[in-house]
Structure 1
Amino acid sequence: MPALATSLHLFPNNPILRTKPYFPNFSSTIPFGFSASSSSYPINSNSSLSFVAPLEAILFDIDGTLCDSDPLHFYAFRDMLQEIGFNDGSPIDEDFFINNISGKHNEELCRVLLPDWEFEKAMNFMVDKEALFRRLAAEQLEPISGLENLCKWVEDLGLKRAAVTNAPRSNAELLISMLNLQDFFEVIVLAEECARPKPFPDPYLKALNALKVAPNHTFVFEDSVSGIKAANGAGMAAVGMATRNPEKMLLDAGATLVIKDYNEPKLWENLERVVKEKLPL
């Protein structure tokens, strides 16, 4: 698979994946017991996206936002950290993953998880972890329910769109291709090619500049605290995806609205309201 030429990759003459992408069996469930608690999350009914009207663009995180990939990251970190004796050899649990790992950039994770290691050695560990994640993802990947309908809605309205991720290039390419979205996104921004990753606003600011859209007429789908803070820092509202992270955590980070998936009626009520609005409130 060819690498993205830059962190801003335009797709009209898309060189990514000239061959037919691989599609997993999306109907299968992840068999490892990573429980999804999002179905129990209430929606924040007091929030509205109407202030972003008229809507120009929607930006998407990738991991946990386009696809349910957090369990695969969890398994990869759990097994590899146990191998090196992290936490006295006891495997990390889901709470530790959510509170200390989810949404963070690998350079930051080197400091969080392996502070006593030389940076180069710690980064090599992260490279190996990402390779294990890609092997797991190639076998099983869960898209967020309703994603296909949302993408069609975005295309039918002619809205601009970008993917903005802290994930390394190889992960971003794999997940986007497996979801068959390589022709959907006009721009992909890789945080590793920005001055600073999320939670800093740099990746989202770069996407806004590339799409030539205003932050007050754009919103973001994000599943992590760091991503929501980055979106807010760039002047945009964020819809929190409670696929794995608790609703309260996302709201406390600054999410305008929290949903469990793209089928959520509250989301579509907001989208219809935004489209009907002619001027921002």
Structure 2
Amino acid sequence: MSDGVFLERERFDTGRRGVARLEALLFDMDGTLSDTDPVHRQAMTDTLVAQGVALNDDDFHRYVSGQSNEAIFAHFFPALSGEERRRLADAKEALYRDLTPRMTPMPGLVRLIDWAKAGGVACALVTNGPRPNVEHTLKVLGLTDSFDTLVLGEELPRAKPDPLPYLEALRRLGARADRAMAFEDSRTGAAAALAAGVFTVEITGPSRATGLHPGADLTVSDFNAQALWARLTATEVLANA
């Protein structure tokens, strides 16, 4: 781990001056690694319309974006059995994969991952996405070997918005919450990262002009944002260490 990599922790200002070494970057997948929200929305809309259910903006951000498939389909189809909801979820995810043959990384993402690797900062993917989608997305984006661990909410007892996926990522990486930074694009994901005690950056991407979670420590459009790099490269910071 490089001694030259530091993290600003304004949210935990204790009035003491100190230095907190950055140990881990934790990335959400959908809408964070790539601007996939429009594709997910199209796949979800088509799936719901086929079942006679409409999807508006508020419903998408409240009940779909960042949520696990289990939670999504339980909300829209409470009367269906678990098996019936899983079949609908599988159909939606297959449609999503068909719609994403040419995804590109969010601006600045590859730069950030390369910077982290050069400085000995671990990287984890923390997502509610199903494994077939995770493998597909990483392959299309050319990021298959970019993460030290993949943490999937559907493979844990609890998914986001519970903090467990982020806590599990920290455990696997041997990193402290106050020396990590999380990147999210949804209310659900940001809530999970914040509950885990991690400095949380909301990525709005090109699809949104403003952030969705008022508690996020920092809101930026993409990974090239000057405000993000100012924090990543700070040499003297406020910390709770």
Q: Distance in 2 between matches of 1:100 and 1:195?
A: 20
Shift of 1:224: 0.8
1:142-170 deviation line (CA, Å, top 9, x unaligned): 32111121111111111011101100000
1:113-169 deviation line (CA, Å, top 9, x unaligned): 11222221112101100010011112x313211112111111111101110110000
% identity of equivalent residues: 39
Structure 2: stretches of 5+ with no match in the other structure = 1-6, 10-18
**Aligned residue in 1 for 2:117:** 155
Q: Distance in 2 between matches of 1:246 and 1:264?
A: 14
**Aligned residue in 2 for 1:122:** 85
Q: Distance in 1 between matches of 2:92 and 2:198?
A: 32
Q: What SS does structure 1 have at the residue aligned with 2:142?
A: coil
Distance 1:65 1:157, change over 3 A: same
TM-score by length of 1: 0.75
Q: What SS does structure 2 have at the residue aligned with 1:158?
A: coil
Out of 126-135 and 238-247, give the one that drifted further.
238-247
**Aligned residue in 1 for 2:4:** none
Asked if 1:84 is matched to 2:42, the reply is: no
1:84-141 deviation line (CA, Å, top 9, x unaligned): 1114xxxx34443223211110110122111222221112101100010011112x31
Asked if 1:193 is matched to 2:155, the reply is: yes
User: Residues 74 and 94 of structure 1 are in contact (CA less than 8 Å); yes or no, is this contact kept in structure 2?
Assistant: no
**Aligned residue in 1 for 2:236:** 277
Shift of 1:279: 7.5
Asked if 1:133 is matched to 2:96, the reply is: yes
> Number of aligned pairs?
224
Q: Distance in 2 between matches of 1:249 and 1:269?
A: 22
Q: Distance in 1 between matches of 2:220 and 2:160?
A: 21
Structure 2 matches for 1:1-281, cutoff 5 A? 50-51=8-9, 53-87=20-54, 92-138=55-101, 140-243=102-205, 244=207, 247-250=210-213, 252=214, 254-273=215-234, 276-277=235-236, 280-281=239-240
Q: Distance in 1 between matches of 2:225 and 2:199?
A: 18
Shift of 1:245: 5.2
Shift of 1:265: 1.1
1:186-230 deviation line (CA, Å, top 9, x unaligned): 111111111100000111111111000110111101111111111
User: Residues 182 and 201 of structure 2 are in contact (CA less than 8 Å); yes or no, is this contact kept in structure 1?
Assistant: yes
Q: Which amino acid in 2 is paired with 1:114?
A: F
TM-score by length of 2: 0.87
Shift of 1:248: 4.4
1:242-273 deviation line (CA, Å, top 9, x unaligned): 124563422x2x21000001111111111111
Q: Distance in 2 between matches of 1:113 and 1:141?
A: 28
